[in-house]
Chain A
Amino acid sequence: MEYMGVEPDRLHFSWISSAESTKFVEVVSEITEKVKALGPNTHYVKKEAKVA
């Protein structure tokens, strides 16, 4: 990912069992925070067709 210029924090992996709702919430909050810190994703986003 880094090689492509995408910040590693934009890709997350985790393992949560179906009983671990607390962990789920923790992970979601943590990821959201990290991503918010990064700001919007600009790399590799398909460019909108520009109308002249």
Chain B
Amino acid sequence: MTDWEPKIVSFLCNWCSYGAADLAGVSRMEYPPNIRVVRIPCTGRMSPKFALAALREGADAVWVSG
């Protein structure tokens, strides 16, 4: 790809944001295709290590949403 597209690693809570993401799909909304979702059981599961690892692995940003 010539145009750079960022990759945003997104940690989404299974019960909240993951559901919102699904509903956005059901409602056929549109948003930029840059997020890569990692489903986690609850934002409580989130550890700073995950965010750091993602950035280290070349992710352009990290988003945690509960």
Contacts and interface: CB of A to CB of B under 8 A. Distances in A.
Contact present between A and B (CB < 8 A): yes
Consensus secondary structure, chain B interface: mixed
Interface residues of B, number: 35
Most chain B Cβ neighbours within 10 Å, of A9, A14, A44:
A14
Contacts of B38: none
Interface of B: 4, 6, 8, 15-24, 26-27, 29-32, 34-35, 51-52, 55-66
Interface of A: 6, 9-25, 27-29, 31-36, 38-41, 43-46
27 contacts: A10-B55, A11-B63, A12-B64, A14-B65, A15-B65, A15-B66, A18-B18, A20-B20, A22-B24, A23-B20, A24-B20, A24-B21, A24-B23, A24-B24, A25-B29, A27-B65, A29-B32, A33-B32, A35-B34, A38-B60, A40-B4, A40-B60, A41-B55, A41-B59, A41-B61, A46-B57, A46-B58
